[in-house]
Structure 1
Amino acid sequence: MSTPFYVSPQQAMADRAEYARKGIARGRSVVVLQYTDGVLFVAENPSRALHKVSEIYDRIAFAAVGKYNEFENLRIGGVRYADLRGYTYDREDVTARGLANVYAQTLGTIFSSAAEKPYEVELIVAEVGNAPEDDQIYRLPHDGSIVDEHGSVAVGGNADQISSYLDQRHRDGMTLAEALRLAVDSLSRDTNGGERTLTAEHLEVAVLDRTRPQKRKFKRILGRQLSRLLDEHAAGEQEKDQPGEGAGESSGTGSTGGNGKGGAAGKNGSGASAADADEPESGAADD
């Protein structure tokens, strides 16, 4: 009788973790940022049928990278958990912390089980509060651990490089247009240090907006509204980079030529979030 092949538990777990990390790294990245009115989700995802970002409950949303069928099963399970808990107790009892604990138990059980392969997924669960300091963002890697994040977080693809870029540039009090531009800039940077061009057609964007009067704070940003937000902030950045137009046109009248056009450039700053009211709600269409 042949001796069975032996692998130490440490080596077996390391192999499973490496397998899961490689699967996650093959996917396109997702970025989650806090801004002044809520939480922004931006994913590089040209598909309009397969969503990486979805609504879970009133104030809670979910983002994921990795194998679609695996994180879609987790999303459906999260919706069922939230609906049952909200119906049995109270809607206020459904929290991102509770949902993250449920996901952590599920992922941890699957990862430690030798009977099946680990899930090749990494999740983000976020909840918007009544004030920015009440927002909650949790990142759940493949092994079921929970990481409490603040400000910004990236998963999938070259997440380490994107996270470093975000940490250096993200700040409190950003408008929606500023946060969106920062997220797109971070996603457009490839592993070789170059930059790609990401348009509205390449992006999946959604927000948890605390200013919405409805109980359900989740909203997708699509089509013209997304293009307008990208264009407005890009135009504002270009105007800031250009020198004053009147400075080189002094034709003998001295000081009046250089000061006349400076006031208009300051009006492009932070008004992009007002465009939210123009678009119809499409929050839970994928549930």
Structure 2
Amino acid sequence: MPFYVSPEQQMKDKADYARKGIARGRSVVVLQYDDGILFVADNPSRALHKISEIYDRIAFAAVGKYNEFENLRLGGVRYADVNGYQYDRKDVTARGLANVYAQSLGTIFTETNKPYEVELVVAEAGTEAASDQIYRLTFDGSVADEHGYVAMGGQADAVAQALKDRFQEDMSLAAALKAAVQSLEAQDTDRHLEAKSLEVAVLDRNREHRLFKRLPAARIEALLGEAGESASDGSGGSGDDDAGES
């Protein structure tokens, strides 16, 4: 006689399995700053990226199993390229891409034995901060419209709480990066993240055409040093000091 598992228990087991897999990974944070959207990942690898460009104003960040979120990233790039070519580049939006990812993840979660162990953020930089879009997608296809900041993977709750305490609207790039790094370090009080162990990128609304840009280790180190100097000068890392942004 075959072993019976109720649909409710089956869905719960899948969800628990996916959550455990995601929690084993290193964290990623996404937050707005005065000139765009900042992505920071605890990722020492120079080849296996957690943060990538999707289209002109859209970027992608993920945690979990690399092969699974890389498949999703490639599918998103193809979706964006085809729609931008058939219609207009402005018709490719983060919301449309988030809907496509939600359908794919939802189908995989309900119709396969093993769900994807991934969590995603799809972000689009608008012409001003109020028009920025940040969507968080979980392993079951759920979508959340986020504002200000997002933390995923690892001890995400601890990172999110640290971000909540440090985040301010209209932060400079240096201040936002410092807040992100300190929030990632909040998972382990004994850990200090150096520039070479970070993957950092921005959607900079001041750039033309393609807004995505990766920051090299030297630039990351300079920004962290700038944020430290601002704090020692008593500015508190607010958005009033935006020197050194790019």
- Structures share a fold, TM > 0.5? yes
Large movers: runs of 4+ above 2 Å: 238-241
Counterpart pick for 1:151 among 136, 143, 148: 148
Counterpart Cα distance in 1 of 2:165 and 2:178: 14
Matched residue count: 242
1:82-231 equivalences under 5 Å are 82-113=80-111, 115-190=112-187, 194-212=189-207, 214-231=208-225
Q: Which amino acid aligns with 1:125?
A: V
Residue number in structure 1 paired with 2:71: 73
The secondary structure found in structure 2 opposite 1:272 is: coil
Residue number in structure 1 paired with 2:243: 271
Q: Which amino acid aligns with 1:198?
A: L
Counterpart Cα distance in 2 of 1:190 and 1:69: 25
Higher RCO structure (Cα 8 Å, ≥6 apart): 2
Q: Which amino acid aligns with 1:86?
A: G
Q: Could you list the runs of 5+ residues in structure 2 that have no partner in the other structure?
A: none
8 Å contact kept, 1:189–1:195: no
In the alignment, is residue 233 of structure 1 matched against residue 227 of structure 2?
yes
TM-score w.r.t. the length of structure 1 is: 0.82
The percent identity for this pair of structures is 63
The secondary structure found in structure 1 opposite 2:39 is: strand
Q: Which amino acid aligns with 2:149?
A: S
Q: Could you list the runs of 5+ residues in structure 1 that have no partner in the other structure?
A: 242-267, 277-287
Deviation at 1:195, TM superposition (A): 4.3
Q: Which moved more, 1:160-169 or 1:36-45?
A: 160-169
Q: CA offsets per residue over residues 46-92 of structure 1, 9 Å max, x none?
A: 00000000000000000000000000000000000000000000000
Change (3 A) 1:223 1:168: closer
Counterpart Cα distance in 2 of 1:139 and 1:269: 30
8 Å contact kept, 1:233–1:269: no
1:12-51 equivalences under 5 Å are 12-51=10-49
Counterpart Cα distance in 2 of 1:34 and 1:239: 24
Counterpart Cα distance in 2 of 1:82 and 1:195: 42
Counterpart Cα distance in 2 of 1:158 and 1:18: 15
Residue number in structure 2 paired with 1:249: none
RMSD: 1.3
8 Å contact kept, 1:129–1:210: yes
8 Å contact kept, 2:162–2:186: no
Counterpart Cα distance in 2 of 1:223 and 1:29: 18
Counterpart Cα distance in 2 of 1:169 and 1:187: 12
